[in-house]
Copies of this chain bind each other. A is one copy, B any other.
Amino acid sequence: MKDSAVLLIDCPDQKGLVARVSTLLYNQGANILHADQHQDHELGLFFMRVEWALANGDGHSFDLVSFKSAFTALAADLHMNWQLRTRSPKPRVALFCSQYLHCIADLLERHRMGELDAEIPLIVSNHRAVEPMAAFYGIPFVHTAVAAATTDAVRTVNRIATEQEQLKLLREKGIDLVVLARYMQILTPAFVAEYPSAIINVHHSFLPAFIGARPYHAAHARGVKLIGATSHYVTEVLDDGPIIEQDVARISHRDQVDDLVARGRDLERVVLSRAVRWHIENRILCYGNKTVVFD
Q: A: which residues have CB within 8 A of B? A: 15-16, 18-20, 22-23, 25-26, 29-42, 47, 101-102, 105-106, 109, 113, 115, 132, 136, 206-210, 222-226, 228, 242-248, 250, 252-254, 256-257, 262, 266, 270, 288-293, 295
Q: Which residue of B lies closest to A270 (CB)?
A: B266
Asked, given contacts A39-B34, A223-B291, A270-B266, whether A19 binds B16 with beta carbons under 8 Å apart, the answer is no
Which residue from B19, B35, B243, B256 sits with its C-beta under 8 Å from A42? B256
Asked, given contacts A15-B26, A113-B101, A293-B252, whether A246 binds B226 with beta carbons under 8 Å apart, the answer is yes
Q: Which residue of B lies closest to A208 (CB)?
A: B209
Q: How far is the CA of A15 from the CA of B257 in the complex (A)?
A: 24
Q: How far is the CA of A293 from the CA of B210 in the complex (A)?
A: 23
Q: Check if A248 sits within 8 Å of B245, measured CB to CB.
A: no
Majority secondary structure of chain A interface residues (helix, strand, loop or mixed): mixed
Q: How far is the CA of A106 from the CA of B112 in the complex (A)?
A: 13
Residues of B within 8 A of A115 (CB): 262
Residues of B within 8 A of A33 (CB): 39, 41
Which residue from B38, B41, B222, B254 sits with its C-beta under 8 Å from A38? B254
Q: How far is the CA of A39 from the CA of B50 in the complex (A)?
A: 12
Copies in the complex: 4
Q: How far is the CA of A186 from the CA of B106 in the complex (A)?
A: 29
Q: Check if B18 sits within 8 Å of A22, measured CB to CB.
A: yes
Which residue from B22, B26, B248, B290 sits with its C-beta under 8 Å from A248? B248
Q: How far is the CA of A248 from the CA of B207 in the complex (A)?
A: 13
Residues of B within 8 A of A288 (CB): 223
Asked, given contacts A102-B109, A206-B209, whether A15 binds B41 with beta carbons under 8 Å apart, the answer is no
Q: Check if A26 sits within 8 Å of B16, measured CB to CB.
A: yes
Apart from A206-B228, A208-B209, A226-B246: 17 A-B pairs, beta carbons within 8 A: A15-B26, A18-B18, A19-B23, A19-B26, A22-B22, A23-B23, A33-B41, A36-B37, A42-B257, A101-B113, A102-B109, A224-B243, A224-B246, A225-B243, A250-B250, A252-B295, A253-B292
